Amino acid sequence: MAASTPHQRTKGPKLEPHQVVLRPLVTEKGTHQFTHRNAYPFEVNLWATKDEIKAAVQELFGVRVRKVRTQQRLGKKRRYRFRVGQLSRWKKAIVTLHEEDKIEFF
């Protein structure tokens, strides 16, 4: 076995930066995070890795990324008439930037 092989993608296609970061999550909690901790939440592709998210944010917004944290969010159960369905699951990434860098959404 090779001791130092690079991490290979296990599933999914090769993603472009605009396919990795889907949209910013502008919520009250997210606003508090980027004003006080310089951390920005994004909805990202389910197949994206932390390294791909870091590279995509650096390329799309021209900032330096310090840390990336990810969460797998489960879809909520929703009722429609007499049936119960489930919304799609999605992935959330919280990207922490260097102190000097900022992203302007508005």
| pLDDT tens-digit readout, 18-53 | 999 999 999 999 999 999 999 999 999 999 999 999
SS3 content of the chain, % helix, strand, coil (to 5): 25, 35, 45
**Amino acid occupying residue 82:** F
Indicate the range of 3-7, 58-62, 69-73, 82-86 predicted with least confidence: 3-7
Helix/strand/coil for 54: helix
**Tokens 């919304």 identify what position?**
87
Looking at the chain, the whole-number percentage of residues with pLDDT higher than 90 is: 84
Identify the residue with better confidence: 13 or 59. 59
pLDDT of residue 34: 92
What confidence category does residue 106 fall into, taking pLDDT thresholds of 50, 70 and 90? confident
